[in-house]
Structure 1
């Protein structure tokens, strides 16, 4: 099985929308409760792409098997060098290293655009796969927000993890 990681295009958005829609309806990986439409996913993609943020897909056997992107952690200017990651892998492709390949590529892209920290906000603190993946790639836990989301009939915690990027605190950022 060969997996290629590349920048996402608008042609990938129907597959991305389907992967995310499945995650929204069947899991707690996202705190959204209604799957966004293709138009909404296109809008979100355009905002990130136009902002210069990385948005990647993993392609296996000619089909999008997962995607990852980084976006602003917060909107205020002082946060401009900190990004938040998001990774979603199709149910049929989980457990094969696609998430790791996407996250490795995303980290490299975030360093390329001179980001200094990447934050993972992992829904449902008991999500051992996501927590373990991030830990293997240098993220460390920095906190837990308890019972901040209610989905599928239960309250959910969120684990916060963080990883320095590039020179981290050693020099001021150049990202505008």
Structure 2
């Protein structure tokens, strides 16, 4: 049996599935330190803002079924960070371990490189999120720091893992628009 994995740009019709997946993450896990799951209207506003700023926002489908989403966004708002993006990747839990995360993150890396970004940062919620850490490591990210007890959720203090990947020429040359 052949399984078909496809990656495409997110569209408005994906927002119900994206909202539901993110709500599950907010309610049950610590990949995000958000306490209250946003509704679909708020998730739509977030998606529109990211896309309007020119960042990629993509969806994975496994045999035509929504399997996860990923996007890049501004790492920080100051002008000097404009060549750095932060990645976000969420996979439907039942579909993890099938290459969906890798395909989404690799596509995001490729698109951000083509857009001229030079660094990608992963902000991984808690050191217990070993699957996310391993995914990022497999695609070349290196851990650059761990903030101990930076967040609190579900009655416990959580560490935050910072990982980084050079995109394109990375630090070897100035960006064209510098």
Question: Could you tell me the TM-score, scaled by structure 1's length?
Answer: 0.97
8 Å CA contact 1:80, 1:175 repeated in 2: no
- Name the count of aligned residue pairs: 176
How far apart, CA to CA, are the structure 2 residues paired with 1:106 and 1:162?
Answer: 14
**SS at 2:160's partner residue?**
strand
Establish whether residue 47 from structure 1 lines up as the match of residue 87 from structure 2: no
**Runs of 5+ in structure 2 lacking a partner?**
none
Question: Which residue pairs with 2:17 in the alignment?
Answer: 15
Residue by residue, what CA displacement relative to the aligned partner does 1:109-142 show, whole Å, maximum 9, x if unpaired? 1101100000000011121111111011000010
Q: Look up the SS of the partner of 2:171 in the other structure.
A: helix
- Residue 151 of structure 1 corresponds to which residue in structure 2? 153
**Over aligned residues, Cα RMSD in angstroms?**
1.1
Partner of 2:89: 87
Query: Residue 130 of structure 2 aligns with which residue?
Result: 128
Alpha-carbon distance, 1:48 to partner: 0.7
Corresponding residue for residue 168 of structure 2:
166
Determine if contact 1:81/1:175 at 8 Å carries over to the other structure: no
d(CA) in 2 for partners of 1:112 and 1:6? 16
Give the TM-score normalised by the residue count of structure 2: 0.96
Secondary structure at the aligned position of 1:172 is classed as coil
Counterparts of 2:34 and 2:174, CA distance in 1: 35
Question: Post-superposition shift, 1:175?
Answer: 5.7
What secondary structure, in the 3-state scheme, does the structure 2 residue paired with 1:149 have? strand
Distance in 1, matches of 2:175 and 2:71, equals 20
Pairing partner for 1:28 from 27, 30, 55: 30
Instruction: Spell out the pairing of 1:57-72 with structure 2 (5 A cutoff).
Output: 57-72=59-74
How far residue 60 of structure 1 moved from its aligned partner, in angstroms, is 1.5
Q: Which 5+ residue runs of structure 1 have no aligned equivalent?
A: none
Indicate conservation of the 8 Å contact 1:72/1:83, yes or no: yes
Report the Cα distance in structure 1 between the residues aligned to 2:107 and 2:56, rounded to whole angstroms.
9
